[in-house]
Structure 1
Amino acid sequence: MATAAKSDLLVRFGSAVVLLAIAGTALWFGGLAFGLLLLIGGALVIVEWFGLVRAMTVGLGTRAALTALGPLIVLGATAGLWFIRDNLGVTAALWVFAMVWATDIGAYFAGRAFGGARLAPKISPSKTWSGLIGGMIAALIVGATLGDRGEIVGVPLWIGLVMGLMAQLGDLAQSWMKRRAGVKDSGKMIPGHGGVFDRVDGLLPVAVILGGLAVAGQIAVQAGG
C-alpha cells in the first residue's frame, strides 16, 4: 500500500511539474504560444464539460442550459486571459493565476488545520467553511502582494477576497456536476490529476470576471482619452 501511494504521489508530482513548465513558458512568451495553450486547453475543457453533461442525471432543461453554458464560460475565460496577457502584460496574467493557486493552497491547509463545519456536504464532503475562509484570505494576500492597481485596471486590493470566493464556487459547481454524473474526475488527460477541467474549474469564473473588468477598464481609459 505504501509503495502504491508513493508511486501515485510521484505521478502527481511529475504531472504537476510538466503542467507548470508548459503553462509558465507559454505565459512568459505570450503571443502565439499563450494563444495556442488557451485554444487547446479550452477545447479540452469543453469536451470534458460535454462528457459530464451527457452523464449527469438531470432534467432536459438543466441539460440544455448546461450544454449552452459550458462553451460560453470557457470562451469568456480564454478571451479574458488572452486580453489580460496581451494588453496588461505577464505580471497581470500571473496575478490572475496566482490568486486561484493561492485559493486552492489556502483552502487545503486551512481545512486540514481547523476542520469544522462542512461547506456543502452533499456536493463535496471534504470542503469546510474554514477552508473557504482560508482560501479567500490566501487569495487576498497574494492579490495584495502581486497586484499593481494601476496595471490591473484599478481594481481594489481586496478583490482577492472576491476572487477567492469565486474560485471556490467554481470548484463546487464542478463537484456538483461530477456528483450528478457519478464520476470522480472530469477526464483522464492528466496522469494523477484527472482531466483538464479538474485543474481549471476555479480559474474559469475568475478569468471571466477579471477579463471583463480589464476590457471595461480599457474602454473607460480610451473613452477618457
Structure 2
Amino acid sequence: MLAIALTALWMGGRVLDAFLALVVLVTFAEYCALIFKITQKPLNRLLAVIFGVGYIGYAGYALIAADSYYLIAALGAVIFTDVFAYFFGRGIGGPKIAPRISPSKTWAGLVGGIIGAALWLGAWVSTFHYTSGYTSWADFWEATSEDSLGAAAIGIILAVAAQSGDFFESWLKRKAGVKDSSNLIPGHGGVFDRVDGVIPVAFIVGLLSGVA
C-alpha cells in the first residue's frame, strides 16, 4: 500500500487526487461500519456519521487541496511518529498510556513519536529553504533557524495528534468488538487502520495551511 501511495504522490495531479479521494471514501465507509456495530440508535448513528463527514471529509479535502510542501510535511510527520514511537516503545517499554484501548502504546513510544515528528518537520523546512536559492550559508541559516524551530514545535503537536487518531480508532474497534476496521488489506486490516493517524494530522495541517 505504501508503494501505491508513493507512486500516486510521484505522479501527482489527478492520479494523486483520485487516490486520496478513494482512500477517503473507503475510510469513511469503514468508519460508518464500525459506528453501526457500536450503536443501534438512529440518532446516535446520525450524529456519528455527521462527525465522520467533518472529521474524515475535511482531512481528505485538506490533503487534496494542499500543495506538495504541506502534503509531504503531513505524511512525513505521521511516518516519523510511527517509526520512532515503535522503536522507542519496543526499546524502552515502560508504562502504557491507555492499556484498555491500545495495549501496545507506551509513554516512551509517545515521546519517541514526538522526537521523530519534530526532527522530520525541522529537517523538511530546512531542506525546503535550502532548495529555495540561498546564496550563502549565513543567509540560509538566518532564514531557516527560526522557521525550523517553529516547525519542530508544530511537529510535537502533530505527533500527539497522530497518536490520538490511533487511539480514537482503537477505541471505536473496542466498542465495536472487532480487531480491524475491515479485511480489505489481507493481513493488515482495513484502510482506516492504516490512516487513523493521518486524519487528525491532515486536519491540523489543513487549518495551518489555510485550506478552507
TM-score (norm 2): 0.84
Q: Which moved more, 1:140-149 or 1:25-34?
A: 140-149
Q: What one-letter code is carried by the residue in structure 2 that aligns with 1:37?
A: F
- Tell me which of 19, 33, 51 is aligned to 1:69: 51
Per-residue displacement from partner, 1:168-225 (whole Å, max 9, x unpaired)? 0000000000000000100111122100000000000000110111126xx9xxxxxx
Aligned to 1:198: 193
**What number of residue pairs does the alignment pair up?**
193
- Give me the whole-angstrom Cα distance separating, in 2, the residues matched to 1:92 and 1:207: 9
Kept in 1, the 8 Å contact 2:34–2:181? The answer is yes
Partner of 2:184: helix, strand, or coil?
coil
Matches within 5 A, 1:166-177: 166-177=161-172
Matches within 5 A, 1:178-189: 178-189=173-184
Matches within 5 A, 1:132-171: 132-147=110-125, 156-157=150-151, 158-171=153-166
Partner of 2:209: helix, strand, or coil?
helix
Q: What one-letter code is carried by the residue in structure 2 that aligns with 1:183?
A: V
Q: What one-letter code is carried by the residue in structure 1 that aligns with 2:182?
A: G
Q: Calculate the aligned-residue CA RMSD, in Å.
A: 2.2
* 1:120 partnered with 2:98: yes
Q: Report how far residue 62 of structure 1 moved.
A: 4.7
- Give me the whole-angstrom Cα distance separating, in 1, the residues matched to 2:105 and 2:40: 23
**Shift >3 Å, 4+ stretches:** 57-64, 148-151
* 1:111 partnered with 2:89: yes
Partner of 1:119: helix, strand, or coil?
coil
Matches within 5 A, 1:5-154: 19-56=1-38, 62-85=44-67, 89=68, 91-147=69-125
- Give me the whole-angstrom Cα distance separating, in 1, the residues matched to 2:40 and 2:108: 31
- Give me the whole-angstrom Cα distance separating, in 1, the residues matched to 2:119 and 2:95: 24
- Give me the whole-angstrom Cα distance separating, in 1, the residues matched to 2:47 and 2:101: 20
Kept in 1, the 8 Å contact 2:21–2:60? The answer is yes
Kept in 2, the 8 Å contact 1:83–1:215? The answer is no
Q: What one-letter code is carried by the residue in structure 2 that aligns with 1:194?
A: G
Q: Report how far residue 58 of structure 1 moved.
A: 8.2
Kept in 1, the 8 Å contact 2:80–2:117? The answer is yes
Q: Report how far residue 65 of structure 1 moved.
A: 2.7
Partner of 1:127: helix, strand, or coil?
coil
Q: Report how far residue 48 of structure 1 moved.
A: 0.2
Aligned to 2:137: none
What's the % identity of the aligned pairs?
Answer: 40
- Give me the whole-angstrom Cα distance separating, in 1, the residues matched to 2:5 and 2:205: 19
TM-score (norm 1): 0.79
Aligned to 1:4: none
Gaps of 5+ in 2: 133-146
Partner of 1:126: helix, strand, or coil?
coil
